[in-house]
Structures are given as C-alpha cells and as structure tokens.
Structure 1
Amino acid sequence: MLGPQQFRGVANFSTFLLDRSSGVLFLGARDAILAVDTNNLAKQPRTIVWDVPEEKKRSCVAKGKTEGDCNNYIRLLEFLGDGQIYACGTYAFDPQCAFLNMSSFSLERWEDGRVRMETGKGKCPFEPSQHYTAVMADGILYTAATSNFLGTLFDISRATGQEQERIRTERSINWLSDPEFVSSAFIQQDEDTNPTGDDNKIYFFFTEVAKEYDLYTKVKVPRVARVCKSDVGGMKTLQRRWTTFVKAQLVCENRASGQRYNILTDVYTTQHTSGDPSSTHFYGLFTSQWEHEELSAVCVYSLADISKVMDGPFKELKKTCENWINPEPVPTPRPGQCLNSALRAKGFESSLKLPDKVLTFMRDHPLMENSVIAAPLLVRRGITYTKVAVTRTTTGSDDDQSNAATVLHLGTDRGELHRVAVVGQNTTLLQEISLFTAQEPVNNILLHKGQALVGTQLSLARVGAEGCSLYSSCEECARARPLGCVWRVKEGACSPSMTGPIQGEEVEDALRLCESGEGRCSPAQRVLLVSVGLRVLLPCVQVSPHPCTWVHPPHRHTRQHHSDLEVTVTAESLGTYTCLCQEGASGGKEESPPCSRASYQLTLEGPSTGGAVALAGGRHILVVYILCFSLGVTLGGFLLYVLSRRRGISQRHPDHSLSSEKGRDLLDSSATPQSPSSASLLSEGFPLTEKRMGNGTLLLTHHHNNGNSHHGNYGGGSGYGGNRGNAGYANTDPLNTPVMSATSTVAEGLKLHVQETVADEKRGGDRERGRPEGGEGGGEGDEEDEGLGEGLGGLEEELAGFVLFKLPAPLAQCEESSI
C-alpha cells in the first residue's frame, strides 16, 4: 500500500501507464508525474513537478474557474518510442503537452530552462473532470475529448502526426450527441491473421444522447464507434473529416426480465487467445439511467459481433414521416468500409479517391441499423462498480475455450476490490477486499505478472490477482474449482488441479469435503431469535442476472426487495426461509436447478438480528407503561385515602391557609432541600398540583421544575405520558410528564384552592414571606388547605420507607418562580 504519506502530498492521480518490461508505473497527478517501482513499493517514488505559473492561475480564476481546477492535471501518458513518454495536462484550462525522458525521468526543456511544451487542444480535455479517452497507434495519438474552453464541442480525432492527416469528426449531432467518452482500443492485425489485407482499426466506446428515439426525455445509449487507421478524409466532401466513422448501439439486456442497462462506465479490452486479434473481447461495465438505486452490470462483446453489425444495414431518418428506415440503395464502394486488398486493386488506394456520393452518404448515415446485443454476465444491486479488469483461466487444454473461466476484478466507489468467477452461465462471488476508505473510489486497475495494481486519487495498492494460492480456506478454494483450483488437505493450501475439464457438480463435491460443510448451493442455516412485531431484512447476495425467489411459510407478511426479503414477524411467520437463485441460462434446454444462496430459521425469542437487519421493534415497552400507569392509579387512591383521614386534624387550625407558615413550608421549606415535600411521589424534582374535573375525578399531575413545564391532559381525566425515546408511541406532553388519575373519595366539604395556589405561584415567595400569620384567607377553606399541607407532610414520611421513592442524591432547591 502507498498512501498520502509515501506520495508526500501529491494527489489527484488520474492516469496510469505501466512499463511492463521494467515494472515501473507512471502516475499522472495534479502538478506532478510520479514513477513507482511496482517490484519494490518500499522504494520512495520519484517525482517530476510540472505546475502552472501563478500569473496563469490568476488569469484562469478571472475567467470564472475555481482555484482548485486552475492547476495542471495530467490526463494523458502514452509511450512515444525512443525512451519517451508523451504527457498532456489541463494546464489551467489551456491544455499543454510535454515530452518525458524515461532514462533520466525528466521533462525536456528549451535552452532557457523552460519546459518544452506544445498545444494540447484536441489531445487533452480542458477541465480535470471531463470524460476523455486516448490511445496510441504506431506512434500516432487518437483521442476523444472536448475541443473548446466551454466544453461544448466534442471530437474524435487523429491528434498528432502530419498536419494534413489530422482529421476529426463532423460537427453534427448525428455523429456525436453530447457524448461521455469511456474507453478506446487499437486493434492491430498482422499478415498472418489478416488474409484480406484489411486496414487496422481504432474503436471508441462512449455514452451519448440518442436521436433515434422520439421520447419526452433524453435517452442515453451506449455506443461503439470505429475509424480506420489509414483514413485521411475526403477530397471535396468531408475534407479533414473521417470518411470511415460508423457507430452502433451496444445493448446489455437481461431478456428474461427485460431490464436494460444503458449507461456505459468502463470497458476492458482483452484477447481470449493470446496473439490472435480476432479473439478480442470487450468487457463493458454498465449502470441504468432509469434506476434510482445503485446498480451495476457487466456484458461482454466480441470483435466479430461488432464487425458484423458494422457491415450491416444503415439507419436513416426519413424527414417526411419522421420515421427511421433503412436507406436504399447503398452506394458502391460501401460507405465506412476500411481499405483492403480488393479496394486497392480497384484503384481506391486512399480515402481521397472515394466518390462524392459515397462520402455524402457516409456524412448523413453514421449510425448502423442493428445493435450489438449481449446478456449480462453479472448484475449487482446496492453496489456501484467503477472499474473492471479481466483475467482468463483455461482448466482444460489450451485450445479448448469451452473450459475457460473468466475472473472479473471489479473496483467499487467505496474503495473495495471484488472478484467474481464466471464459468458459462454460472457466476460466483469469490472475494470482497476492502483496500481504501469509503471516500476513495477505485479509478484504475492494471494487471501485471499475477498482481493487480489498484489505484484511487490518493493511494495505490498491489494485490494478488490470480492463482489458487489467493484462496486461504477450503470453502474459498472449492468455489474457485472452475478456475482449476483444488484444496490439498495435507498441505492445507489451495493449488492448481492437474485434472481435465471441470464439471459444474464438482464445486458441490469439493465443498462437501470441507469440514464446515458449507456449500455454494447448500449454505449453513442461520438461526435468528426474533420477537413479534419486528421487521427483519433477510439478505441474499446474488451476482447472476437471473432472478432469486424465496421459499417460506405461507403468509402475507413478506415483501421482496430485489434479492433480499423483508419479513414482519408474527406467530405465523416463524419457520425456515430459503433463498433460491437461478444460475443457468433462463429458458434454455439445459437449464440448471436453482441454487440455494441463503437459509434462515426464525425462532420466537428475545429480539436479535443474527446477521439480518432489524428494522423496528420494542413494542414490549407498552407493557412497562401499563404497569407504571396501574401503579400510579394505586398510589393516587392511597394518597386520597390519607388526605381524608387527615381532614379532621386540619379543622383544628382554622386560622391558617396555604399562605401561612405551614403553607410557606409547603412551598419553600428551608429544612427540606428537595422542596416541596409532595415531590417525592415519583421524583423529588416534580412538584404536585391538583385539578378537579367536572365528573368528580381528581387529576394529580407532576410537573418538571423548570420554566417550560406543560400540563398533559387526556380525555376523561385519565391517560399516560409517552416516552419520547421510543418511536411509535404518541405523546401529547412535550416534557413526557407522567400523569395519574384517581376517583375522588374526599368529602364534599373538602375544597382545594387551586386558583389561589396558582396565583401564589405566579406572585412568588416574597409575598408569602411578607404575609402575617393568620392573615387574610382564614375560614373553612384555609383549614382545608392547611390540612392538605399537613397530610402531604405526613404522607412523605410514610412513603419514605419505600425503596421506589428513594433517590440516590438530593436535588437542588427549587426556584420559587418555577413551582
């Protein structure tokens, strides 16, 4: 691993170029080019600084660009030959290119010491984040990039070479319609593999807005475009323009479900047979324009299928009825055709000699009628793949490609590397490796000598890419059986198999030999302890594009989220849940049976996720509230009983009221710091007030001793306060005030002066201290109030013995204004 510390602050790596002979990896970064020895990552990387002068930065910012974008982001590194690398950077929105000497690892300079630079317009994008691709073909650079400061003009061009041979695409939406360039490849054929003398070709892959669909919204489609290496443009028509530019739509579609993936994000080019260009295959990484969640798919296209479509009918828009039709007739020689031996024999040694009718037809018909169609090898939901690389493993004879297995190395937007094995229609997830932080998407993967060089904008990692030794356990080795791996029990290691072709059932046989007994199609069952009312999400990982189904107890309390299953736990929903995924070709004659990917046993007990995701729960808290409410009712009745017995004592003191000394003790007693004494009913910090309901019900309410207390009142004089810490229970009291109600058994003569208590509460304690003993407010009502104070004081002593009402520490004395 190499991170920011080893790179000494250099960041924003966007371009990788590997010298496979020496193992040196060149990295294009912001204002710098680095050289990393992949054979010895401990060696400090070498660095070349290529930045932008401050004056040019200020001019860039003055044009409305951000200061961060007004640097030199190296977007192109390509070998030129003779020990040189052609390097191009954005150079503060004024693209420039320079020449790097590999032996001295330095940029070529003029005699005055300045870096030798040439314009990079058309060779490198203006903006660091713009989509871009380039490929070098026999020392000539072919690019697909924006060609103006605003980023509104797009060109596929021959960017270097002789000036008269630098040609580009026509500025027409029929040629390029708001494209997002992804990848490019140069397919070079030698005389042995090219008997017709056909010209070498360059392929470009991109996503653009389709013009052939008449819809209310912009429909994006993936395209592959082809140009011929010897094309130099037309004599009169299409001067300095491509005369061989044709394009076709790529279709990545699961025919069973009708799901189509129409956004192309990456392409990896490889030869299935080494040294045979005709065996070239393109592995495309797709997502969908119409999906609102993370989704990734991989489709593979052969060079033969693409060539067949390029040689097929053209698509045309007939202006009269606005319908696309096949144009007739197609002129001769065929428009868009690369030069070959037959055309040269007819006198067409160059594109400059093509007739105008051929060039005119080519200018108006760049799009092909047919599409290059493929079914997805892999589909993953909930994950966004950013890069793909491919290795091929042949388990049988080298000439027998039917026994070949493909391993997809996939980088994610969360800094992970996933490995997926594809054998025929069977897809198996082998590994998921977390390499970087979740904020570092993988933007480069290079495969070299059994290693994968995985990079982000900040870091670089070297990981083993192939070989059975990667799989350290028996189960992992068994899953890699289609790759030719077998577990050696004596050695305790995974090593290549010397046997013949691998059959599908051998994977299950190999897994049964493992001690754990966990198989690819017989996973270990997980027991989940759940409670009634929980909503549980049962995961089922499936990388095959074919659908997954669940076998479970018959009820209607389930809902499937793609391959995962959501279950609402009831008494009827307990039992076994099994996820079955189709592996083989859907609808084929040799369709394989569904494979079990996950199995769960729901058992009624305490709530536990056990590997699943609990979505809701906690209804048992309702029972606790009911018990607390019942306890409050009992205490309320006991309180009223004590008050009725104390009534006789209160009548012996007719000249005291709530404003007397005893009343003052009730409101502000210096002897009791937890004043008032009645607060010990539930919490010494909650004072007690009383309210008589019209139906003869006495409502006792505790209020928090701050200035924001509120009264919780439920219909009928009864109810309970909800706990706002538990979702799902309504709470009309914002302070979660506990409320108790009890039927009054007090004699009719007992009258509670609630109004006077509230008035005294608002006036504060000063008025109470200034009132003379036995002053105004005497009479029978005063006796009743004074008796209430005595009754509460005695009640506190009686309740002090209960452990329930003891607090670990006394609370601070209440402010009088907050009572």
Structure 2
Amino acid sequence: MKLDTCLLAALVALVLPLCSWTAALSSHEDNMVLSSTVTSGHWKFNDVTNISTFLLDPDTGMLYLGARDAIIAVDTAKTLMYRKIMWNVTEEKSSSCVTKGKTEADCNNYIRLLEFLGDGRIYACGTYAFDPQCAFVNISNFTLEKFEDGTDKMEIGKGKCPFEPSQHYTAVMAGGILYTATTSNFLGTLFDISRATGVEQERIRTERSINWLSDPEFVSSAFIQEDQNNNPTGEDDKIYFFFTEVAKEYDFYTKVKVPRVARVCKSDIGGMKTLQRRWTTFLKAQLVCEDRGSGQRFNILTDVFTKQHEPGDPSSTHFYGIFTSQWEREEMSAVCVYSLKDITKVMDGPFKELKRTCENWMNPEPVPTPRPGQCLNNALKAQGFDSSLKLPDKVLTFMRDHPLMENSVVAAPLLVRNGVTYTKVAVTLTPLSNSKHNATVLHLGTDHGELHRIAVVGPNATLLQEIPLFPASESINNILLYKDDALVGSPNSLVKLPAKGCSLYNSCEMCARAHSLGCVWSINKAACSLAATESGEVLKSDVLISRCGSSTERCSPEIKDLPVSEGLHVLLPCVQVSPRPCHWKHPPQRHTRRHLSDLEVRVTSESNGTYMCFCEEAGREQPACPRAAFRLLLQEPRASLSALQSSSRQFVASYILSFLVGVAVCVFVVCLICRHHKRGGGGHSSSTSEKGRDLLPSSDTPQSPSSSSLFSEAVPFAEKRNGTLNGHGGHISERKCGYIYTNSSGLKLQDTSLHLVDEFPGRERAGLEGEEEGLGDGLSEIGEGLSGLEEELAKLHVLRGAPLAQCEESSI
C-alpha cells in the first residue's frame, strides 16, 4: 500500500459529502430573467455598457447615446435597430492612466457630453482615461471626423467634461456656446461653472473660493431664453445651475449639505480689473423642500426637470426637483417644484454676509449701485453700462464677496415616499376635464429599474403605475419625453413606452385612480378613455366607483387570521395606492420593522393581536383609510423544525466522523506497512504481503448522508423589496431571507418540513471488517476507540444545524 493512495482515500472521504452539500445549495440559486411588461420598443445593448448621456433630434426622432468607448444612434421609430461608433482610448494613454493609480475600468473613454453644434455635427466629449477629450461626429454618415493622417480629430476637453466617470456633472448649450459645471483637475478637487467654448477672451468661470462653490455635486442646468417678441425691459438670457454643496453659513459639528440654484447671465464677459475672466453675475440661493406637516426637510438634490407650463412663455418655467435627506437612514424621496418667478424674486432680494466679529450671518452694508449680479437690460444700458467690463470696482468687489442670497426659495413637497429612491424625473401636463387647470403627471425612475407614474392635482397625489423595466441592479439614469412617448434608459438598455393617454391604465381600478385626469372606464370597450371621447358609453363617476369598489369597501378590509409559530418572521403586506404615507397599528408588545408600507413581525409569545395598516389617500384633512388587517394566532412550533435541527446535527456529525475515520485508517495502515518492512526486511514472507493486500478492501467507513435531501425541497423565503403589492402594474422585488410572506389570498408559510430520508445511516463501528489473523486484536482496539469518539461528537452542542443560504436580491 502506498502513502499517496491512502491520502487520496482520505481526501475523497472529505470531499464527497462537501460536494453533495454544495450541489444542494446551488440548486436554489435563482437566475434573474428580465421580463418587460411594455409592448413598445426595447433595445438591449449587449456589446455596450455604461450609457449615461441622451441627445434627441426632435425633427428626425434620432436618439444619440453616450456610453463607454462608444456613441450610439437609435432610430426611435425602428425597434431593435441602432448604429454605433467606437471611440477607444489608445493603449499608451490607458497604460499611463493605470500607472497614476486608476483602475483599468476607469481608464476607458466614458462619453459624458453630446450636444448639437447646428452645422450638421455633434460635439462629443469623454473622460478619455482621465484626460478629457472632445471630438466631432458627422451626423450624415455617423462617423468621427478625422485628420488627414487618419487619426481622430480631437481637442482638449478640460473644463468641458469631467475627468472621472462617476463625477457629478452638467452642461447646456446656449446659442451655440457650451456652459458647463464640472471638475477641472485630475484629483477632482477644483470645481468650475464656466463658459467652456466660444471666443477665448470670453471663456470665464467662477472664482476659486468656498464662498462661491463649496464641494458641490452638480445636478442639472437650464438655458432660459427671453422671448424676443415680448421683452419690454430688454432682459438678458440666463443660465441656471442646480447642485448640492456643503453650507458654509451653518456652523455645526458636522458638514451640512444644502441644495442650491445659481444663475449667470449670457452676456457676462467678466470684469476689467476685479473679477477678470470671472463671472460678474454669479448669484446663488438655497432651495428649501420641507414638509410643513411633519417638519421634515430634504436637503440633497438628485435631479431637476425644467418645464414651461405655457409653451413660448419663459416666465412660466418651473423646475421639478427630486430630493432626499442627509439625516434619514431609510430610503426616502420627495419631489418639490419651484417657479422661475420665485427664484427671480429671491435673486433680486437682500444679500447674505458673514460678519467676522461675531461669526454670525446677517444682512450686509448698503448695496452699491448698479446692483451687483444684475443682468444687462435696457435700464443699465441707458446708464452707460452696456458691458460687464464697464462695471465699477466697488460693484465687482461686493459681488465677489457676496454671491449668496439672504432669502431661500421655499416649496412644499408634491409627494413624499418612504422606502423608494428616485433617480430621474420627467413631467407632462394633462388638461383636466371641465377645468382650465392642468394635472401634473410625474414620470419617476427608481434606482431599482422601475418607472413610477404619479398624478398630482392640487394637494392630492395619486400613484397610477409602477412599471418594472430593468433588472433591480440597473437604476434608471435617463427619462426623455418625445411626442407621446417616454424614452427611459439604464446603463445597459433603452425602452420606449407610451407617456400619455388614458389607455395606459388597463384596469377599472387604475382608471379610477386616473379619474382626475379625465379618464373613465368604458363599458363597451372595457378600456380606459377620456370622458369627452366616449360620451354615452362611459360610466359616471359614482357608478365607476361602485363598480371598481367603493371607498367604504376599500376602507373596511377583512381581517385575515394567520396561524404562526414562535420564532418565525412574518411580512404583512399593505397596498399603498397613494404616495402619501402609511402607518400600522399593532399590539404594544411586539418586534416589528417597516419595509416600505409593509410590516415585518418577528413572532414572540406576545405577538398575538390585530395588525392594521392605515394609508392617507385624500390628504391630511381626510382620515386615513384602513388598507389591510391581520390577526396573528400563536400556535405550537411545527414538528418539522425540530426534525430539521436533529437531522442537521446528524448530518454534520456524520460528515466529521467520516473524515476522521478515513484519516485514522490511513495512518494505521501506513504504520502497519512500516512495521512489516522492518520485520520482513525487504520483500520476503509473501503471506504477510498477501494479508496486507486483503486488508485494504475490507475497510468500511460510515457513509455520510447526502445533503441534497436537506435543501432540495426548501422553498426560499420572500421579503418584499421596493414596490407595492399591486396587481395592476405593481412590482415586487424580493429578497431571499428567513421570512414568511403573506398576500391578499392568505398566508404562505415557509415549508420547513424537509423531505428527509427515513433515517440516516447508523454510526457504524469504525473498525475494519474481515480482520486477518494476527491483526484482529489491534483493529478491534482501534474500532473501540473510534466508537468512543463517535459518542463524544454526538454530545457536541455546537453542531446545531446546517446554515441556510445567505440573502440575495432578485426581481420578479
């Protein structure tokens, strides 16, 4: 017998039970499959990743996408067809980037800017391995312009595009000139809002001062062009920038972030002496998004959508912003809207000043004339100030030291949602039937690949749809509205789906929610349509409510009895129809945790009682509506749980025992062979050698039970994740953990009664069968010793059951 053979036998004894255990665990891994509920176009770019930029040609419907090392052109009228330009980084540039400490993934070319130049070309800028470069795309043949030697025609992109792919950034084209807000150095420590193109002498930027920009995170920008036919005061065009920065006016123990809006004027070209090549019109103000009822303030701005409420009237512009809170641990999002008139009023108000003597912010000394930060208009030109170069130094000095306004632009949230993180917003205005006012429909993208539609009419917000578009790992990073469609993008995909019309709501209940938009349920067509187009065939509002379920029925849910056992976790669902908050009433002695509007309960001996969910649907002035009710009934633990624990202990004990037996047998045989060679001396006494060969196949170690029986029948627990239980467009993202999940049809308990074998193989005596003459005594002693070891292993308290699979997220 060779030593290698013995060690191989021991290794097999160790690996076989482990392989069966691993196979059992792997049999429960779910493959995530994307299933889209939309019927419109869906583009999946398998060879392109990190799509971050949208540019739409409204005349042709061609959509241009900026991605990693590529620019894509998608004809939105032709599904599944697109063209691609590869714009890669040279090997030399990539190697240089890696040697500077950056990862290979970051040392690619991430296209962050796409803008039309108006001459049949697109201006494209990318990070280009932390050395921003810009190129020109010929639209007609969709190629990059090249030099005569065949190389790509590029120019320096510093100040036009960020260095790092993940850096916050925004840019806007105004009159053929590019205005950007980005970092301007390799380390990402310098921030500029600048005029990045145009005449070299007119390329100006912000002052490098924390009073101007303090560690900002740029979000969005907008160009507001005055109406040439209706501008009696001759006001200049303006560019607005939205960002979040660290507030210097609050002296707290920690950094306080605040959302800001900043404004510069299009004709500003800097000062003559003071503020040379710097903005002379840079003003900023704080945005306040506060729920006055609860006092909750949202201070992190994540996205802004610009919308003219009256097309052609710049003064009717509104800015819709998504906010989160710096202080809340749970996911929470709010949407606030600010009018251009309110922002202009604050910009024309008092300035904020820091008095160094007492370290308190207060109003400054009298403001010089002409007013600092004012854009050029007819009145200034009449006084001889037809250029920012002619402004007095005292005005520019005051402007340099006082960029912040005293007052804030205040708004109350249109909606607040717990457990949801919104990433992008787009807005459509829908005329109300029999009213001059419009309803606001918010198209909101989440960080879990969902599109939510919410209608806002006055103080009431109604959740219309929750549509899963992408896997939960892909956040929505672009929403663009074109004609009657919405183009929604993630880092890897693009979806086109309808954005307007009552036909979006394919059930009576969903149509009833959209009743404020003029939608009613048609009897003949069994479809949702506008009331004006279906006269004579549509139900009246009171009949519609009674057909879909009256408010009395919806607010009187049936109490469901749920038998539970101590130690289990139960997830009680609550359907959140409105984006307004929900709350639970339950027994005082309980162990609970919120998951969106649902409630997780850890069952204890004191968990018996009624659990009811109340949701606000008509505003704070109306009483909350009960949406769900459950009664937990504590019962004895199921016998299968104890069977699982007992079987698990036997499984682990048998596994360890088989390994130890294999090692002991090999050691004994090796010692036996060594003793034989010492006595027999070199290869005689064939009878002894024959005995040694007969001993090997006679050894028999206890066989470990296959672990597949422990896990093959297990049903994964479910926990709701980021969504509502909505049968009409709702989405449930689940996480496999140790929960019991309930739905509207009742309780679905975890099937812990595993189909075990009738009994595990007995812990056999770990000796050798068929002992040869002269060795029986020694083998008997070893068998007795291993039998004693078996008894000791059986007493170990640490072997209390096999571990379950760790939590992992999936999307349904």
Q: Into which bin does the TM-score normalised by the smaller protein fall? A: 0.7 to 0.9
Residues 102 and 622 from structure 1, CA distance in 2 versus in 1: closer, same or farther, beyond 3 angstroms? closer
Q: Is the 8 A contact 1:425 1:583 kept in 2?
A: no
Q: What is the aligned counterpart of 1:59 among 84, 92, 96? A: 96
> How many Å apart are 1:11 and its aligned residue?
1.9
Summarize deviations over 1:550-575 as a string: whole Å, max 9, x none.
456x6544757475445566899766
Q: Is the 8 A contact 1:674 1:685 kept in 2?
A: no
The correspondence of residues 417-436 of structure 1 with structure 2, limited to 5 A, is 417-436=451-470
> How many Å apart are 1:73 and its aligned residue?
1.3
> How many Å apart are 1:525 and its aligned residue?
3.8
- Corresponding residue of 2:679: none
Q: What is the aligned counterpart of 1:383 among 420, 432, 442? A: 420
TM-score (norm 2): 0.72
- Which structure is richer in relative contact order (CA contacts within 8 A, separation 6 or more)? 2
Whole-Å Cα distance in 2 between the matches of residues 705 and 6 of structure 1? 62
Whole-Å Cα distance in 1 between the matches of residues 275 and 398 of structure 2? 11
The correspondence of residues 102-181 of structure 1 with structure 2, limited to 5 A, is 102-181=139-218
Residues 119 and 39 from structure 1, CA distance in 2 versus in 1: closer, same or farther, beyond 3 angstroms? same
Residues 521 and 141 from structure 1, CA distance in 2 versus in 1: closer, same or farther, beyond 3 angstroms? farther
Whole-Å Cα distance in 2 between the matches of residues 134 and 599 of structure 1? 47
Summarize deviations over 1:571-621 as a string: whole Å, max 9, x none.
9976654433334554xxxx233334x222326487xxxxxxxxxx94767
**Residue type matched to 1:447 in 2?**
L
Q: What is the aligned counterpart of 2:494 among 452, 455, 460? A: 460
> How many Å apart are 1:326 and its aligned residue?
0.7
Q: Is the 8 A contact 1:380 1:542 kept in 2?
A: no
- Corresponding residue of 1:416: 450
Q: Is the 8 A contact 1:576 1:600 kept in 2?
A: yes
**Residue type matched to 2:239 in 1?**
I
Summarize deviations over 1:130-179 as a string: whole Å, max 9, x none.
11100000101000011111111100000111111110000000000111
- Corresponding residue of 1:530: 563
TM-score (norm 1): 0.72
1:311 is aligned to 2:351: no
When structure 1 is superposed on structure 2, of 374-383 and 487-496 the one drifting more is: 374-383
- Corresponding residue of 2:249: 212
1:595 is aligned to 2:677: no
- Corresponding residue of 1:471: 505
> How many Å apart are 1:704 and its aligned residue?
10
> How many Å apart are 1:102 and its aligned residue?
1.2
> How many Å apart are 1:414 and its aligned residue?
1.5
Whole-Å Cα distance in 1 between the matches of residues 760 and 145 of structure 2? 82
1:685 is aligned to 2:767: no
**Residue type matched to 1:55 in 2?**
E
- Corresponding residue of 1:710: 792
- Corresponding residue of 1:34: 72
The correspondence of residues 305-704 of structure 1 with structure 2, limited to 5 A, is 305-396=342-433, 400-401=436-437, 404-498=438-532, 510-514=544-548, 522=555, 525=558, 527-531=560-564, 533=566, 536-540=570-574, 542=576, 547-551=581-585, 556-557=589-590, 561=594, 563-565=597-599, 577-584=611-618, 586=620, 591-596=621-626, 598-602=627-631, 604=633, 618=637, 685-686=762-763
Supply the RMSD in Å over aligned alpha carbons: 3.7
> How many Å apart are 1:95 and its aligned residue?
1.2
Summarize deviations over 1:46-92 as a string: whole Å, max 9, x none.
11122222122222222222222222211100111022211111122
> How many Å apart are 1:725 and its aligned residue?
6.3
> How many Å apart are 1:440 and its aligned residue?
1.3
Whole-Å Cα distance in 1 between the matches of residues 107 and 645 of structure 2? 66
- Corresponding residue of 1:653: none
5+ residue gaps, structure 1: 607-616, 629-672, 676-681, 689-702, 715-719, 728-819
Secondary structure of residue in 1 paired with 2:511: helix
% of aligned pairs identical? 67
1:190 is aligned to 2:272: no
Whole-Å Cα distance in 2 between the matches of residues 326 and 426 of structure 1? 38
Structure with bigger gyration radius? 1
Residues 620 and 79 from structure 1, CA distance in 2 versus in 1: closer, same or farther, beyond 3 angstroms? same
The correspondence of residues 264-275 of structure 1 with structure 2, limited to 5 A, is 264-275=301-312
Whole-Å Cα distance in 1 between the matches of residues 556 and 62 of structure 2? 44
- Corresponding residue of 1:610: none
Secondary structure of residue in 2 paired with 1:498: helix
Secondary structure of residue in 2 paired with 1:174: coil
Q: Is the 8 A contact 2:415 2:461 kept in 1?
A: yes
Q: What is the aligned counterpart of 1:226 among 258, 263, 268? A: 263
Q: Is the 8 A contact 1:232 1:242 kept in 2?
A: yes
Secondary structure of residue in 2 paired with 1:359: helix
Residues 394 and 4 from structure 1, CA distance in 2 versus in 1: closer, same or farther, beyond 3 angstroms? closer
Q: Is the 8 A contact 1:542 1:581 kept in 2?
A: yes
Whole-Å Cα distance in 1 between the matches of residues 346 and 590 of structure 2? 49
- Corresponding residue of 1:296: 333
Q: What is the aligned counterpart of 1:199 among 216, 230, 236? A: 236
Q: Is the 8 A contact 1:686 1:704 kept in 2?
A: no
**Residue type matched to 1:22 in 2?**
T
Q: Is the 8 A contact 1:479 1:507 kept in 2?
A: no
Secondary structure of residue in 1 paired with 2:178: strand
- Corresponding residue of 1:659: none
Whole-Å Cα distance in 1 between the matches of residues 541 and 367 of structure 2? 53
- Corresponding residue of 2:689: none
Secondary structure of residue in 2 paired with 1:368: coil
Whole-Å Cα distance in 2 between the matches of residues 520 and 56 of structure 1? 67
Whole-Å Cα distance in 2 between the matches of residues 313 and 57 of structure 1? 50
- Corresponding residue of 1:18: 56
> How many Å apart are 1:329 and its aligned residue?
0.8
Residues 278 and 708 from structure 1, CA distance in 2 versus in 1: closer, same or farther, beyond 3 angstroms? farther
> How many Å apart are 1:499 and its aligned residue?
9.1
Secondary structure of residue in 2 paired with 1:55: helix
Whole-Å Cα distance in 2 between the matches of residues 369 and 499 of structure 1? 51
Whole-Å Cα distance in 2 between the matches of residues 4 and 479 of structure 1? 27
Number of equivalenced pairs:
640
Secondary structure of residue in 1 paired with 2:512: helix
> How many Å apart are 1:721 and its aligned residue?
11
> How many Å apart are 1:281 and its aligned residue?
1.0
Residues 706 and 213 from structure 1, CA distance in 2 versus in 1: closer, same or farther, beyond 3 angstroms? farther
Whole-Å Cα distance in 2 between the matches of residues 543 and 318 of structure 1? 51
- Corresponding residue of 1:612: none
Q: Is the 8 A contact 2:123 2:134 kept in 1?
A: yes
Whole-Å Cα distance in 2 between the matches of residues 317 and 194 of structure 1? 36
- Corresponding residue of 1:69: 106
Summarize deviations over 1:325-345 as a string: whole Å, max 9, x none.
110211111111111111111
Q: Is the 8 A contact 1:475 1:519 kept in 2?
A: no
Secondary structure of residue in 2 paired with 1:383: coil
Secondary structure of residue in 2 paired with 1:531: strand
When structure 1 is superposed on structure 2, of 490-499 and 531-540 the one drifting more is: 531-540
Q: Is the 8 A contact 1:36 1:45 kept in 2?
A: yes
5+ residue gaps, structure 2: 1-35, 648-699, 703-758, 766-784, 805-812
Whole-Å Cα distance in 2 between the matches of residues 420 and 236 of structure 1? 52
- Corresponding residue of 1:243: 280
When structure 1 is superposed on structure 2, of 19-28 and 379-388 the one drifting more is: 379-388
Secondary structure of residue in 1 paired with 2:394: helix
Summarize deviations over 1:21-60 as a string: whole Å, max 9, x none.
1111001112221110001123x31111222221222222
Residues 333 and 571 from structure 1, CA distance in 2 versus in 1: closer, same or farther, beyond 3 angstroms? same
- Corresponding residue of 2:136: 99
Residues 526 and 494 from structure 1, CA distance in 2 versus in 1: closer, same or farther, beyond 3 angstroms? farther
Residues 547 and 476 from structure 1, CA distance in 2 versus in 1: closer, same or farther, beyond 3 angstroms? closer
